[in-house]
Amino acid sequence: MSIQNFMSIRILALCAVFLVAGVLAATPANADQRYSTWGDPAAKPAATAAAAQADDVQEMVDKLNTLVDEAEKARAADPRFLRDLRDLARGYHRPWRRLLVSEDFQDGDYTANPVWTVAGGRFWIEQGWGMRSTVAAPVPPPETAKPQRKMTREEKAMAVFGAILGKAAGQGSDTGPTETPAAVQKPQSAAVHTIAPITNAFALELEMSSWQGQGRLEFGPYQGQSRTSGYRLAYTPGAGLDLLRVTSRGTSIIDTVPGPLTLEDKKPHAVEWTRHPDGTMKIALDGKQVIEVADRGFRDSFDGFVMVNHGGDFILRRLAVYGTQ
């Protein structure tokens, strides 16, 4: 048997196994089943089993790419066939294999392992739910009084004379700063971040819940100590999702999911956000892809993850960030 035929058989055999594994990974476990799943206490959690299945698929992708490389060097197959195989493998390839951030708040503490730093507002651990932040909607300022008629010269003189007498008696306005109205004192946003080196290509898995039909939640990787640059995914209750690029020159909308999206059902919702080395980003909400777009606005790595609550009530239940080697 020639090396060309042998190489072709190896590639085709691995392709068959690879396609079967891909179909099994994409098929729900309970499809067309007669009996329900028995809750075996010794069984692996669903998340762990899914992760192991994804690792197996990735291992086959690596082997397929290696065989395609060898076939190209030996000229053992049609170049168009090999190109199609690469395109197939690329759809299942996950270059993010290094865990960079892992947090589920089960220890009841967000100040260690990893360390979260509050830059504004208040955050606390809601037992069994995660890290919570509530920001009251800004209270509108009281109506201003109607403008009075213009004072006469005599009335102005009497007002000045009265102010002089009051200051001499210790009743002037120099007793301290004027108290700020309550509406101005209330924080209109709350921000928290964790410092972690995040590669330019990343995979972000997040679970969050929204408890009020107001406000706006923004989160994503940031660059710089000021945390004012980076990518942000913004959720507005009753509206939709916005994928933003934030730089020193301002904020740009990369893509939008118009919605309406209403996640205020007191249940956690899963967000998966991946960024490939070529700048392609995909975002899925509760397992359904809602965004696929390419952006090369940032070519360097990121310095951490930031979350900002603008006037809402949100809980971050879980966060995992993976990076490339």
Residue 38 lies inside a defined structural domain of this protein: no
Domain total of the chain: 2
Same domain, 299 and 195: yes
Residue 176, pLDDT > 80, answer no
Q: What are phi and psi of 19, to 5 degrees?
A: -65, -40
Backbone φ and ψ of 21, nearest 5°: -65, -40
Q: How confident is the model at residue 7 (pLDDT cuts 50, 70, 90)?
A: low
Q: Which domain holds residue 80?
A: 3-27+46-92
CA 314 – CA 259 distance, rounded (Å): 19
pTM value is 0.65
Residue 243 and residue 191 in one domain: yes
Q: How far apart are CA 129 and CA 317, in angstroms?
A: 6
Could you tell me if residue 15 is inside a domain?
yes
Same domain, 121 and 57: no
Please identify which residue in the block is written with the tokens 């956000």: 273
Judge if 199 and 270 occupy the same domain. yes
Cis peptide before 187 (omega within 30 of 0): no
Q: Which 8-state DSSP code applies to residue 201?
A: S
- E strand or H helix at 249, and its extent? none
Q: What angle do CA 269, 275, 281 make, to 5 degrees?
A: 75
Residue 208 in this model has a pLDDT that exceeds 70: yes
Q: What CATH number does residue 263 fall under? A: 2.60.120.560
Q: What is the 3-state secondary structure (H, E, C) of 4-51?
A: HHHHHHHHHHHHHHHHHHHHHHHCCCCCCCCCCCCCCCCCCCHHHHHH
The amino acid that residue 312 corresponds to is: G
What is the average per-residue pLDDT within 37-43?
38
In a domain, 255, yes or no: yes
**Residue 195 located in a structural domain:** yes
* Residues 55 and 132 grouped into a single domain: no
Residues 20 and 66 in one domain: yes
Does residue 50 share a domain with residue 112? no
More confident residue, 188 or 137: 188
Model confidence pLDDT, tens digit, residues 104-153 = 999 999 999 999 999 999 999 999 999 999 998 766 655 554 455 566 66
pLDDT of residue 38: 37
Would you say residue 41 lies in a domain?
no
Query: What DSSP state is assigned to residue 152?
Result: P
Residue 164 lies in a domain: no
For residue 241, is it within any domain? yes
Q: Do 73 and 205 fall within a single domain?
A: no
How far apart, in Å, are the Cα atoms of 101 and each of 42, 104, 141? 28, 10, 42
Residue range 81-85: mean pLDDT, rounded: 73
105 plus 69 within the same structural domain: no
| Residue 151 domain flag | no
Whether residues 18 and 121 share a domain: the answer is no
Does residue 113 sit in the same domain as residue 74?
Answer: no
pLDDT digits (tens, 9 = 90+) for 250-304: 999 999 999 889 899 989 999 999 999 999 999 999 999 999 999 999 999 999 9
Query: Residue ranges of the alpha helices (H) in the chain?
Result: 3-26, 46-74, 79-92, 153-168, 182-185
Enumerate the β-bridge partners of residue 309.
190, 217
pLDDT of 189 = 94
The reported pLDDT for the residue numbered 50 is 43
Please tell me whether residues 211 and 308 are part of one structural domain.
yes
